[in-house]
Amino acid sequence: MHDAHHTIHYTLMICPLEMPLEKKEKGDCDVFGFCFDAEFRNTGLERAESLAKDLEWFKEQGHSIPEPSFPGLNYSAYIEDLSKKDPQAFISHFYNTYFGHSAGGWMIGQKVAQTVLNGKKLEFYKWDGDVSQLLQSVRDKLNRVAENWTREEKNHCLEETEKSFKFSREILRLILS
């Protein structure tokens, strides 16, 4: 049961990033002219629906779903703020989260399925289509968006990576506690 609890916490990690994108209206551009709909909606990497299915499965297995706690709520507020006023920083979190979940996350998902879930593969680790192609498509979109950035904006995006990892570490600490 303790291992399943950790698995539930891990699958909740993706939610803060998808919330700002879901709140944007289709075709909505911010003051920077950065259109979330045009570039980063429906990439095939979204995990919210898959996560909802997994959480429902955990409930059916008799596990309680934890309420969001400080690390996730803090990250969610931070990401929402970035999505409104700092596209370069938001892109850093977007990249680190989605590319991490689809690469290293897939390996973790396999291990969890084998050792904790009696071979059950969570929906979170299933994609519609070839994940390599989905990642390449998103990488191409990211490159198109960033090609018009100044060197200062590109550096700002890279510098935000440290904060992205900091938030991820805080959430992982919660999972492992």
pLDDT of the chain along its 177 residues, tens only?
Answer: 344 444 444 444 444 445 444 444 444 444 334 455 456 778 888 888 888 899 899 999 998 888 888 888 888 889 888 888 898 998 899 888 888 877 777 777 888 888 888 889 889 888 888 988 999 998 998 888 888 899 999 999 999 999 999 998 888 788 777
Torsion of CA 144, 146, 150, 156, to 10 degrees: 180
CA dist list (Å): 125 to 11, 26, 43, 54, 157: 10, 27, 15, 10, 27
Please tell me the distance from the alpha carbon of residue 98 to that of residue 141, in angstroms, as a whole number: 14
pTM: 0.76
- The answer to whether the beta carbons of residues 21 and 41 sit under 8 Å apart is yes
**Dist CA 144 CA 146 (whole Å):** 6
* Token pair for 37: 């709909």
Neighbours of 101 (CB within 10 A): 22
